[in-house]
Chains A and B, each alone.
Chain A
Amino acid sequence: IQLTQSPSLLSASVGDRVTLSCKGSQNINNYLAWYQQKLGEAPKLLIYKTNSLQTGIPSRFSGSGSGTDYTLTISSLHSEDLATYYCYQYNNGLTFGSGTKLEIK
């Protein structure tokens, strides 16, 4: 399964509501996770099984979707959310999307 993330680059202001998209080439059956990777760091798990928030992750992060289309939403952008975000499917094989780089205006 191939994953296409859009946009590849997103610029937003502190306080904005931000939506990142991930589209699969086949049905992912909700086996989709989201990772945050800050510059020079390892990825961090944010969301698993489409909408389950990992322990310790702020509630401003949420996930949704079904079938082939999934979304990560940040309800109110914080400056520390500057990072690249990857979606990842584990329904059929193990694949990552190409990432969305989130910049703070």
Chain B
Amino acid sequence: EVQLVESGGGLVQPGRSMKLSCAASGFTFNNYDMAWVCQAPKKGLEWVATISYDGSSTYYRDSVKGRFTISRDNAKSTLYLQMDSLRSEDTATYYCARHASPLYWYFDFWGPGTMVTVSS
């Protein structure tokens, strides 16, 4: 059974940093591109970042470029999101999600999410 479990969320002050983790199990992690998707309170879903199966390529939405870094450790089957220079508008639930295939970048499995609140 595919499982994705996020951790590392919480309350953080504006301008500070936070690192999220996503532990994957039930599938061959290093065969899949992975992503982070966020959802602000009572708002819709937004793709944040994607990393290729081997970590060689990364992609970001414009609003987080230069502030967020997606990475992975295939030996530990873990995905990360380093978030720097956090802003109040980054407040959201962050979901770890698996891209279904290298060619088709829809998400077939999601974790339950971890909440990040950016506030002083």
Contact = CB atoms under 8 A, between A and B. Distances in A.
B25 to A, nearest CB: 16
Interface in B101-120: 104-113
Contacts, number: 49
Contacts of B105: 90, 94
Given A42-B113, A48-B100, A96 B44 contact: yes
Interface in A71-105: 86, 88, 90, 94-99
Contacts of B100: 48
Classify chain B: how many residues form its interface, as a range: 10 to 19
Interface in B75-119: 95, 100, 104-113
A43 B45 contact: yes
A94 to B, nearest CB: 4
B46 interface: yes
Contact of A86 (B45, B108, B113): B45
Contacts of B50: 94
- Of B46, B109, B110, which is in contact with the most chain A CB atoms at under 10 Å from its CB? B110
A54 interface: yes
Interface in B37-87: 44-47, 50
B104 A42 contact: no
B68 to A, nearest CB: 15
A98 B112 CA distance: 20
Given A43-B45, A96-B46, A99-B44, A90 B104 contact: yes
A6 to B, nearest CB: 14
Given A35-B107, A41-B112, A43-B45, 4 more contacts: A43-B110, A45-B106, A45-B109, A90-B106
